[in-house]
Amino acid sequence: MTDGGVAVVTGAGSGLGRVVAQALLGAGYGVALAGRRKDALDETAAGHPEALVAPTDVADTASVAALFGAVRERWGRVDLLFNNAGTFGPAGTLDEIDPDAWSAAVATNLTGSFLCAREAFTAMRAQDPQGGRIINNGSISAHTPRPGSAAYTATKHAITGLTKSISLDGRPFRIACGQIDIGNAATDMTAGIATGARQADGSVRPEPTFDAEHVAQAVLYMAGLPLEANVQFLTITATTMPFIGRG
């Protein structure tokens, strides 16, 4: 057994998922790294013997079941899920969004989070000692949209409802669930924001970013609480990003 417990991180091959997974590994967790690309997961795992590389399609029920089966086979339990995998999805006004692209975004961002939470919940309810923690990556878009982001924004608003339902339904089984909403953390995926992001008035302006390591530290804090305590919602942003009074 690992010092810090057993964690599953989705979207662990890049961006925030990689930063958080490596922070958990550094804190003594055994970490299952889930994502589509094995080569990217291998890069995240480099130098960490307590990492389990598990290529996974979070939108596929069988693939998610195989992920959690591998975790239980190696460690025997699941203490933490960081539900992080996501896609920005199609951009444009509603009439410009292809329905298939909409469905793909929902499948990854919402259904994928549900499927992973479902497997984690099942393991946490059955294991001894019982319980665990699920942390969902919401986003500032769980509160306020950017222009032309209906698919992403709708799925992230839905994550808030999923978080609340898991938190409520998990009470009898010592399963805590919280949500971290992140705005403008500096990663490869968000590099364009620093050079120019579309604003509500139609202009394109650069926005401030902040070091993604602060996100990792916030997740470590949430994860490190005893199950009797829970951070229900945590919002972390670049201080002067256009969110409060966005646009």
Residue among 68, 82, 152, 210 flagged as catalytic? 152
The span from the CA of 124 to the CA of 200, in Å, is 42
Phi-psi region of 171 (alpha: psi -120 to 50; beta: other; left: phi over 0): alpha
Coil, helix or strand for 206? Answer: coil
The residue type found at 211 is D
Q: Active-site residue 221, yes or no? A: no
Coil, helix or strand for 2? Answer: coil
Q: Is the dihedral of CA 32, 56, 45, 192 positive or negative?
A: negative
The span from the CA of 214 to the CA of 19, in Å, is 10
Q: Which residues are catalytic?
A: 152
